[in-house]
Amino acid sequence: MSLDLAFDDGQQAIADSVAQFCASRCDDDAVRAARGPLPRRLWRELAELGVLGVLAPDGGGGALEAAAAIESLGRAVFPGPLAATFAATRLLPAQQRDAVASGESVVCLGSAPLLPWAPDADVFLELAGERIFRARPAGDVEPVAMLGAETWGRAALERGAEVEGAGPALVLVRLLRAAQVGAMGRRLVEDASQHAAIRKQFGRPIGDFQAVAHPLAECAIRLDSAAALARAAAFHFDAGDAAAARRFAAAAHVSSSEAALQAAFVSHQVFGAIGITLEGPVFHVSRRIQQLAAEPPGRDASRALLLADSDFGAAGATA
C-alpha cells in the first residue's frame, strides 16, 4: 500500500501562513540577535495564530497539521520549546492547557539538573525514561547559557503526580522534533547549494566539483528520507495506529537529528571560514540544530525504542 505524504491543501495553508509570519516577525537578523530568555511577545504572537493550540482537543488539528507548522518554524529557526508545547496541550488539564496554547505559560520538558527553557517556564514536566511527571523546581533556577543562544536552567525538581498519556505525548515530541530539525537541515543544504553555485575556485563554481556536490546531495537525500519518516509517524498517529506511530517517530527522531547534524558539518565546509562566524550565513542555524539534537528525549532513547520493537531487541532481552 502506498502512502501519500504530501500535505493536503489545509495543511499546506498552515505551513504557508506560518512561513509568512516568520518572514515578517522572525527573520535571520532577529534570530542572529536573539540571546537568552524566550521572547515572550513573539511567542504570544505565534500563539495568537492558533499554532500552539492546534493539537489541543478544541484546536481543530492533528499531528500532520502540527508537523506542517513546525516545519515552517524550523526553517525559520523560531525560538522556544515548540515540540514540548504541542505535546503539553495533550497532557495538561483544561485551564493550564489553555494558558499554554495562548502563549501565557511556557513549558519545560526535561530531566534535572539541566532543563530546557527552565528560567522562562511556568509548567514543569519531568521526563523519566518514557514516563512524565508533574514537577516544580526545588529552589531557585540557575540560568545557563547554551550553544543554541537560548537559556536553560539548572535546578533540582520536586516530583509530583505521574501524567497520563506520556506515551502518545512522547511520540509527538519525537516526530515534531524530527520535522523541526530536519527543516533546519534542509534550509542549510539549500543555502550551501546556492553558495556553491556562485562561489568560484579555479574559474569554476565550487558546486561543479564532486567533493562539494556529492556531500550536499547525500545530505539532501538523508533529510528527505527523515522528513518522510516524520510525516509517516504523524499520519499513523492521526490514524490511531499507536504502534506504527511510535516506531516511525523514533526512527524519524534518530534519522533527522543525524542527517541535520551532517548537513551542518557539510554546510560549514562549503562556506569555509564564514560558516562558523556568529554573523555569518549559517551558524545561527547550525548551532540550533546541535542544541535540538541534544535535547531530551535524546537519540539514544529513540534508538532503544527501535531496538525494543525489533528482533534485535527481542534477542537481546532473551540472551
Q: Counting beta carbons within 10 angstroms of the beta carbon of residue 289, is it exposed (0 to 12), middle (13 to 18) or buried (19 or more)?
A: buried
Question: For 68-101, how does the pLDDT look when each residue is reduced to its tens digit (9 = 90+)?
Answer: 999 999 999 999 999 999 999 999 999 999 999 9
Q: Which three cell numbers stand for residue 87?
A: 505535546
Q: Which three cell numbers stand for residue 213?
A: 556536490
pLDDT of residue 116: 95
Q: Which residue positions in the chain have pLDDT lower than 50?
A: 314-319
pLDDT of residue 274: 86
Helices first, then strands: H and E counts in the chain: 12, 9
pLDDT of residue 317: 44
240, HSE (Cβ side, Cα atoms, 13 Å): 0
pLDDT of residue 315: 46
pLDDT of residue 319: 43
User: What gap in Å lies between CA 110 and CA 155, rounded to an integer?
Assistant: 11
Q: Which three cell numbers stand for residue 176?
A: 515534531
Question: Quick check: 179 and 64 in contact, CB under 8 A?
Answer: no
**Of the candidates 167, 171, 161, which has an alpha carbon nearest to the alpha carbon of residue 125?**
161
pLDDT of residue 314: 47
What are the contacts of 53-59 at 24+ separation with CB within 8 A?
53/89, 53/97, 53/98, 53/100, 53/101, 53/102, 54/14, 54/86, 55/86, 55/87, 55/89, 55/90, 55/172, 56/89, 56/90, 56/97, 56/98, 56/101, 59/89, 59/101
Map residue 163 onto helix, strand or coil. Answer: coil
User: What gap in Å lies between CA 23 and CA 20, rounded to an integer?
Assistant: 5
Q: Which domains does the chain have, with CATH numbers?
A: 167-318 (1.20.140.10)
